[in-house]
Amino acid sequence: MGLVKEFKEFAMRGNVMDMAVGVIVGGAFGKIVSSLVDDILMPIVGSLTGGVDFTGLAIKIGDANIKYGSFIQNIVDFLIIAFCIFLFVKALNKATKAVMPAEEEAPEPEPTAEEKLLGEIRDLLKEKK
């Protein structure tokens, strides 16, 4: 029973639950960004490049079919997705700054009576030397 109890404590920790929510939301957001790339941006890129479809580009070497066009397409997809996520995080940070009040530096706390007394003793010992 100890292993089950330990696992339950581990799974119910705040960090693990936050991470699980992040993974689920990230997966859903990934689908949105993939749709943006595949259905909106790539047709525009394709029309700007004269309708070139990179995925069909390949070289045949012996029996191997090297699909370098698919690799190029994946690089383009990655760059677009990374840029979209960058813009999203940048907007989220800006919105968070606008909502959150600026943190003021806390003033240095007053020393306690004990700390003052210890400081005086220290100063007296320095004077004697």
| Residue pLDDT, tens place only, 33-60 | 778 877 887 788 778 877 766 778 889 9
In a domain, 113, yes or no: no
Decide: 37 and 80 in contact? Cβ < 8 Å: yes
* This prediction's pTM: 0.48
Task: Report the CATH number at residue 11.
Answer: 1.10.1200
In a domain, 74, yes or no: yes
CA–CA gap between residue 115 and residue 127 (Å, rounded): 18
In a domain, 127, yes or no: no
Give percent above pLDDT 70 in the chain. Answer: 92
Tell me, rounded to whole angstroms, the distance of Cα 120 from its chain centroid.
50
The count of structural domains within the chain is: 1
Angstrom CA distances, 98 to 50, 89, 91, 95, 102, stand at: 43, 14, 11, 5, 9
Domain that includes residue 33, residue range: 2-102
In a domain, 13, yes or no: yes
